Structure 1
């Protein structure tokens, strides 16, 4: 079960600040797209707070890279609007993170993987040895398969650290200790 344990549970992707990363010796962030940065199937302009957060990371020297299982067209669309490099479909959890590390020329120990899904983002990040961060999904709108997997996620998270997990995903949990 250790491979499914996120290193941290945070209330939102924007809680990953330059200071938070620096305290953990991290130099880059690999970000999931759907329901981590933007709601599933959403298009339009990027939210201002999200653009400001990304700009703050960049100004602090934090490298940002999008790793998504979304379609190439969708990932390109959001990479352009967010001003970050990335690719998709990444084939998470088995693929994608190694390719992102290769492109960034960083080791997994220097990188945080942030996403809303335990069986893609956390599992994949842990498999490569990155610092994994689980955030609540932005929307309840998801693929049917993902909705079913969420039930298993809740069970796994409760068994890993029941006091740190809020099944509704609305309160921040503490950093999970190894």
Structure 2
């Protein structure tokens, strides 16, 4: 019933995903959500840990594109200091933004992964397009008012998915 919301992997934090893990699975590029995945929704400055993670991926030749439902001005302001590409107004859970990201990378869907903190938007959109997904825990425990309703629904969906799929547990890496 909720299989469209099932992530490929569940990792504690985006910063624990390494180039070696990605390469082991044939992944050549990362699409990622912005708020509460890369940065706290209420702090667009990011962290040193984020800067180091992005630099590590860049050195490994793994491009990153932010795919966000936010407007262009908000996303540009948040990512310009990191010198990464983005797709704004992605319309997740529809696949528009993810398809655009894959197109810009000029890679096959099998060579790309979508990372996000929400199963109702990030994971659902990835599954809709046929891109593997990594669900990460939100960076902070609070959400913008627009996300709070989704979180309530997600708890129900996660309980169902984990009951049907006992292998769905939080990991420290992609296995």
Instruction: Kindly indicate whether the alpha-carbon contact (under 8 Å) linking 1:164 and 1:174 is maintained by their aligned counterparts in 2.
Output: no
1:72 alignment partner in structure 2: 72
1:120 aligns with 2:126: no
Q: 1:129 to 1:91 in 2, by over 3 A?
A: same
Partner of 1:58: 58
Query: Is 2:124 the partner of 1:129?
Result: no
Q: Name the counterpart of 2:3.
A: 2
Question: What is the CA deviation profile of residues 32-56 of structure 1, one whole-angstrom value per residue up to 9, with x for unaligned ones?
Answer: 0000011113233x31111111110
1:17 aligns with 2:18: yes
Aligned-residue offset at 1:104: 0.9
Q: Distance in 2 between matches of 1:49 and 1:82?
A: 12
2-structure distance, mates of 1:139, 1:133: 17
Aligned positions, number: 171
Distance, in Å, in 1 between the alignment partners of 2:61 and 2:43 is 28
Separation of aligned partners in 1, 2:11 and 2:116:
10
Q: CA RMSD in A?
A: 2.1
- The Cα offsets for residues 9-43 of structure 1, whole Å up to 9 and x where unpaired, read as 10000121101101111100001000001111323
Give the Cα–Cα distance (whole angstroms) in 2 for the partners of residues 78 and 47 of structure 1. Answer: 12
1:147 corresponding residue in structure 2: 148
Q: Distance in 2 between matches of 1:155 and 1:164?
A: 17
TM-score of the aligned structures, taking structure 1 as reference length: 0.88
